[in-house]
Amino acid sequence: MNQLICKRFVVSGKVQGVFFRASTRQQALQLSIRGHAKNLPNGSVEVLALGIHTAVEALEQWLWQGPPTARVTEVQIVEMVTHTGHDGFEIL
C-alpha cells in the first residue's frame, strides 16, 4: 500500500524532557514522513504523521519505544482523512 495516509498519535508516559520530539523528528525524516511532534499540557506528546502507509506504520511501531530515556505507556491513534500542509517534520 503506497497511498498517503495521515494519522495523529498521542503518546503517553515519560515522553517529555527525554528528547522524544527530536528523536521522533529524526525517525520521521528517515521515513520521508511530514508532520509535527509537540508537547501537550498533560505531559504527553502529539505526533502528526503524513506519509505512505508503510512508513507511517513503521513510525507507529517506533513510537511505542521512543528514545532510550523514554518510557512509553500508551499510544493512542486517530486515523485522519485530511492532511495538513506540512513541508517537512517540525517540532512545535
HEC states along 53-68?
HHHHHHHHHHHCCCCC
Looking at domain 17-83, its CATH architecture is 2-Layer Sandwich (3.30)
Nearest to 7 by CA among 42, 68, 52, 62: 52
CA torsion sign, 50 to 21 to 77 to 29? positive
Q: Choose the catalytic residue: 21, 25, 34, 42.
A: 21
Residue 39 designated active-site: yes
pLDDT tens column, 9-46: 999 999 999 999 999 999 999 999 999 999 999 999 99
DSSP letter at 43?
S
Q: What is the pTM of this model?
A: 0.90
Q: Choose the catalytic residue: 2, 39, 42, 71.
A: 39
Domain positions in the chain = 17-83
**Spatial separation of the C-alpha atoms in residues 36 and 57, rounded to whole Å:** 16
pLDDT tens column, 52-79: 999 999 999 999 999 999 999 999 998 7
Residue 42 designated active-site: no
**Spatial separation of the C-alpha atoms in residues 30 and 16, rounded to whole Å:** 22
